[in-house]
Amino acid sequence: MAKENKKTLVLGASPNPERYSFKATTQLHAHGYEVIPVGIREGEIAGIPIRTDRPVPKDVHTVSMYIGPKRQPEYYDYILHQIKPKRILFNPGTENPELEALAQAEGIETERACNLVLLSLGAF
């Protein structure tokens, strides 16, 4: 059963099993979270199709970032005003003080942490 209260959109999802976004999506799914992988390449992760069309699902709790800060500005409006998550999780290498400040100004919680570590600790 999906953990409805923490629906997670993985931004920067990749069909490559060596990528952390792939591993995170797999682990989120295995832990029972509803997960929406969004990326630039078609494919699937754990049987879930990777969306390339910037979907706007309702009630997203967390956007888990897997794109670097230089590519993030094109997603600001999508994240902050279309998805409107409760939290943005900045995985290692995705930290972005500008987006963090914009999110916090919108009342969105930000966290710098590793998705995989949080899941392994039961602290996601």
The alpha-helical segments, DSSP class H, found in the chain are 20-30, 76-77, 97-105, 115-121
Please tell me the predicted confidence (pLDDT) of residue 3: 54
Question: 70 by DSSP, 3-state: which?
Answer: coil
Q: Which CATH architecture has domain 4-121?
A: 3-Layer(aba) Sandwich (3.40)
How far is Cα 66 from Cα 114, in angstroms, rounded to an integer?
10
Q: Tell me which DSSP letter residue 50 carries.
A: P
In the chain, what are the domain boundaries? Answer: 4-121
On whether the CB atoms of residues 95 and 70 are closer than 8 A, the answer is: no
Beta-carbon count within 10 A of 16 CB: 13
Kindly list the averaged pLDDT for each block of 10 residues, start to end, along the chain of length 124.
75 98 97 96 96 96 98 98 98 98 98 96 93
Residues with Cβ < 8 Å from 68, sequence gap 6 or more?
93, 94
Its pTM stands at: 0.95
